[in-house]
Amino acid sequence: MLNPGSERNLLSICLKNNEKIVDVESQIFAEHFGVPGHKYIFMAMMYLYSKRIKPTPLAIAEVLNNETARKAVEELGGIEYLTLLEESTIPPETLNIFIEKVKQSYTRRMLYSIADNVSKFVKSDKAEVLNPSELISYVEEKLADLSVNSTTSNEVYKMGTTTDEVLKERAEHPSQVPGLEVGWTQYDRYTNGAQPGDLIIICAPSKTGKSVTLTNWATKLAIKDQIPILYFDTEMSEREQEDRILANLTGIPHDEIISGMYVMNTIHGTSEEKVAKLKAAREELNMGHYYHIYMPQFTIEKVTALARKFQMQMGIKAIFFDYIKVPSNESDFRSIQEYQILTI
C-alpha cells in the first residue's frame, strides 16, 4: 500500500518548481507520506517555504536537525538523493495526478489500520458494554477523521467559471420558485424555495403551531407534489401524524376524524361527503411519498444512518426533524444546550 514512486515524483516537481508548493500545501500533509524519508523531506521543504527560503537540497539537509529525520533521509541517499529529485524532469502538469495517488495510498493504509483496530476493539471487553448504535458511532468517528485528511480541498472558486452553464440551465427550465415549494406563496417567493443543502429552522414558543406548519409543508411536498420526504418525529406517532394529514387533505376537523364522527351529518358536511373526502385522501396518501419515523428516543447516529438509508433507497429530497424539549423554569433553560430548544 506504499507508493514511493508517486511520493518521489511529487517532491521532485516541488523542488524543481517551487511555485508548485502552493498547489500542494492545502491538499497534502506530512502524514500522507508512507516513506519516512519522504515525509521529513516534505516537512523541511514546507518549513523553508513558510520562511520564504528557497527549498534547495542543501537547505533541506541543513534544517533536518532531528536525528530520526536525518537518518531517514540518509537511508534514501542523503544529499545525493535530494539533488536527483531536484534534477528530475517530471512534467509539472502531472502534479495533481501524484497528489491523488499519494492520498489514495494514505487512505488505503489508514483504512487497513482502522479495520485492524476495529477488529481488535469489537473483540475486547470494552465493546461488550456498548449498544449497536455506540459501536457504529465508534467506527464512523474514525472514518470521519480519515475523510477530512483524504478529501481533496477545492474551496476556492473563481467567479465566472461556470456562469454560462448555470444561466443556460436556468433558461431551459424557468421557474418563479426554483426550489422546493412548501405552499406558503409569499415565503416561497422570498426564499426561492428550499435549495439542496439548505437548513431551515422554525423557532417559536411552545404550542404556537410549529409541528402543524412542518406537517403542512411535508404534506405539500410528499403528497401534492409527489416529492419523497422523510419526517423524524419525536412527539407524535404515525397514527397521530396521519390523522393530522387526513384533516389537512379533507378539511374535516381533526376531532371528527379521530372520534369517528365523520360518519355523522354535522355542520362540517354530510356523512356521504366526508366519507368520500376521506376515501380520496386515503388514495392520495397511498400515492404519495411521505415517510414518517416516530423516534422519541433518538441519537444523532440513528438519525444519520436512517437518513442515509432512505436517501439511497427512496431518493429522499427533504428531511424534517420535529423536536422540542423546553425546561419548565428559567434556571433549567439556562443550563441546556442551544439545540435542545429548537424545533427544526
Distance CA 173, CA 193 (A): 15
Q: Is 204 left (phi over 0), alpha (psi -120 to 50) or beta?
A: beta
What lies within 8 Å, CB to CB, of 127 at 6+ separation is: 121, 135
Cα–Cα dist 198/141, whole Å: 24
Indicate if 142 and 217 belong to the same structural domain.
Answer: no
Q: For residues 237 and 294, is the Cβ–Cβ distance under 8 A?
A: yes
Band of the pLDDT at 330, cuts 50, 70, 90? Answer: very low
- Among 150, 165, 186, the domain-final residue is 150
Residue 333 has pLDDT above 90, yes or no: no
Report the CATH number that the domain containing residue 261 is assigned in CATH.
3.40.50.300
Burial of 131 (0-12, 13-18, 19+ CB in 10 A): exposed
- Any domain includes 157: no
> Does residue 324 have a pLDDT over 80?
no
Same domain (yes/no): 129, 196: no
What is the full DSSP assignment across 64-86?
Answer: --SHHHHHHHHHHTHHHHHHHHH
| Co-location of 218 and 135 in the same domain | no
**What pLDDT shows up at residue 145?**
74
36-50 vs 67-76: helix axis angle to the nearest 10? 120
Are residue 118 and residue 226 in the same domain, yes or no? no
Does 155 fall in a domain?
no
Domain boundary among 115, 150, 185: 150
How confident is residue 326, by pLDDT bands cut at 50, 70 and 90? low
C-beta of residue 178 within 8 angstroms of C-beta of residue 193? yes
User: Taking a C-beta distance cutoff of 8 angstroms, is the pair 72, 63 a contact?
Assistant: no
Confidence of residue 155 (pLDDT cuts 50, 70, 90): low
Q: Is residue 159 part of a domain?
A: no
CA distance 324 to 141: 27
Whether 19 and 93 map to the same domain: the answer is yes
pLDDT mean across residues, the chain? 87
In a domain, 39, yes or no: yes
Q: Cα–Cα distance between 344 and 340 in angstroms, integer?
A: 10
* Structural domain contains residue 169: no
What is the Rg, in whole angstroms, of the alpha carbon atoms belonging to the chain? 30
- Residue 14 inside a domain? The answer is yes
Q: Is the pLDDT of residue 329 over 60?
A: no
pTM of the model: 0.58
Query: Nine-digit cell at 91?
Result: 512534467
Q: Is residue 160 part of a domain?
A: no
317 falls within a domain: yes
Per the structure, the count of domains in the chain is 2
146 and 219 part of one domain: no
Q: Which domain holds residue 45?
A: 4-150
Instruction: Give CA–CA dist 269/212, Å, rounded.
Output: 23
Number of Cβ within a 10 Å radius of residue 226: 11
Question: Using 50, 70 and 90 to split pLDDT, how confident is the model at 239?
Answer: very high
pLDDT band at 300 (very low <50, low <70, confident <90, very high): confident
Does position 283 have pLDDT exceeding 90, yes or no? yes
What is the crossing angle of helices 67-76 and 78-87, to 10°? 60
Same domain for 27 and 135, yes or no, is yes
The confidence score (pLDDT) of residue 215 equals: 92
- CATH code, domain carrying 29: 1.10.860.10
